[in-house]
């Protein structure tokens, strides 16, 4: 069974601080997606990384896919209260890239 | 981007009643739809995968007679929670994938509260 270990599970920081969320697996994924979800809403796709070693930036968010495509990280610079939410990573396999393997999620609270 | 509409957004019902949740793809044909269950501040738990015109594939531990899934058209899938009990209270989310677009689009979720 493929697993995605996501850490930390909970994170509470002050506005302006930096943070990194990690997703690790012993399995190789064809791609990995990061989502952000607010309470009472469905997840919203932030980014998809496909190539080993790939780095993508979305404003203050930096996403990296490991060289071996087994792990990924999300780094937020100068966090703001608007970044508060549940961050989810999800990995896809080449054979069935619609049935995602989900991490457990990171609940982030950014305090003003 | 593609839009998936999920209805209702929230529902409160008495124990023993059945509740139907609809998931519609508004601007694309969804050949595959997924149904998830989610507890507060936790990740999504895949319940079942449904393909248009065929029976849904349920994940291990999910009762297919309890959670009835129908994917009768390329734009609509429904999840019916039969004889709901308080332990069925949860946030249910659907997602849809088209034939060409290799992406998932999520509904906004349904909060079910069973009294």
* Contact by Cβ (8 Å): A75, A18: yes
* Contact by Cβ (8 Å): A60, A78: yes
pLDDT digits (tens, 9 = 90+) for B6-47: 999 999 999 999 999 999 999 888 888 999 999 888 889 999
pLDDT at B98: 72
Cβ-defined contact of B41 to A99 (cutoff 8 Å): no
Mean pLDDT of B46-50: 93
**pLDDT higher than threshold 90 for residue B48:** yes
Cβ-defined contact of B44 to A102 (cutoff 8 Å): yes
pLDDT at B101: 47
**In sequence order, which residues have a C-beta less than 8 Å from that of residue B82 and are 6 or more positions away?**
B18, B65, B66, B67, B68
Ranges of residues in chain A with a pLDDT under 50 are none
Please check whether residue B5 touches A, CB under 8 A: no
**Distance (Å, rounded) from C-alpha B70 to C-alpha B79?**
7
Alpha-carbon distances of B47 from A47, A78, A86, B63, B64, rounded to whole Å: 24, 37, 20, 9, 9
pLDDT at A98: 64
Q: Which residues pair with A5 in a beta bridge?
A: A24
**Alpha-carbon torsion angle B5, B94, A97, A45, nearest 10:** 60
Element spanning B86, H or E: none
If we measure between CA atoms, which residue out of A34, A38, A20 comes closest to residue A77? A20
**Distance (Å, rounded) from C-alpha A94 to C-alpha A28?**
10
Cβ-defined contact of B41 to A107 (cutoff 8 Å): yes
What is residue B87's three-state secondary structure?
A: helix
Q: Taking all residues of chain B, what is their mean pLDDT, rounded to a whole number?
A: 90
pLDDT at B103: 74
**pLDDT higher than threshold 60 for residue B100:** no
**Distance (Å, rounded) from C-alpha A25 to C-alpha B14?**
42
Give the pLDDT band of residue B55 (cuts 50, 70, 90). confident
Please check whether residue B109 touches A, CB under 8 A: yes
pLDDT digits (tens, 9 = 90+) for A7-29: 999 999 999 999 999 999 998 99
Q: How many CB pairs under 8 A join A and B?
A: 48
Percent of chain B with pLDDT over 90: 70
pLDDT at B113: 96
């Amino acid at each position: 069974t493929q697993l995605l270990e996501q850490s930390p599970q909970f994170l509470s920081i002050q506005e302006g601080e930096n943070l990194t969320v990690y997703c690790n697996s012993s399995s190789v994924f064809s791609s990995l997606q990061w989502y952000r979800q607010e309470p009472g809403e469905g997840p919203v796709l932030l980014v998809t990384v496909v190539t080993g070693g790939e780095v993508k930036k979305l404003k203050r968010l930096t996403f990296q896919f490991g060289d071996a495509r087994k792990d990924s990280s999300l780094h937020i610079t100068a966090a703001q209260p608007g970044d508060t939410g549940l961050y989810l990573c999800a990995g896809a396999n080449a054979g069935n890239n619609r049935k995602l393997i989900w991490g457990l999620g990171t609940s982030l609270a950014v305090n003003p | 981007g593609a839009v998936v509409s999920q209805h209702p957004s929230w529902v409160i019902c008495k124990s023993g009643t059945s509740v139907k949740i609809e998931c519609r793809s508004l601007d694309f044909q969804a050949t595959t739809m997924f149904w998830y269950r989610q507890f507060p501040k936790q990740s999504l738990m895949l319940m079942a995968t449904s393909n248009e015109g065929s029976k849904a594939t349920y994940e291990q531990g999910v009762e297919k007679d309890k959670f009835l899934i129908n994917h009768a058209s390329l734009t609509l899938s429904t999840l019916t929670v039969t004889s709901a009990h308080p332990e069925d209270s949860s946030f249910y989310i659907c997602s849809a994938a088209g034939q060409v677009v290799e992406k998932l689009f999520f509904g906004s979720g349904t909060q079910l509260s069973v009294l």
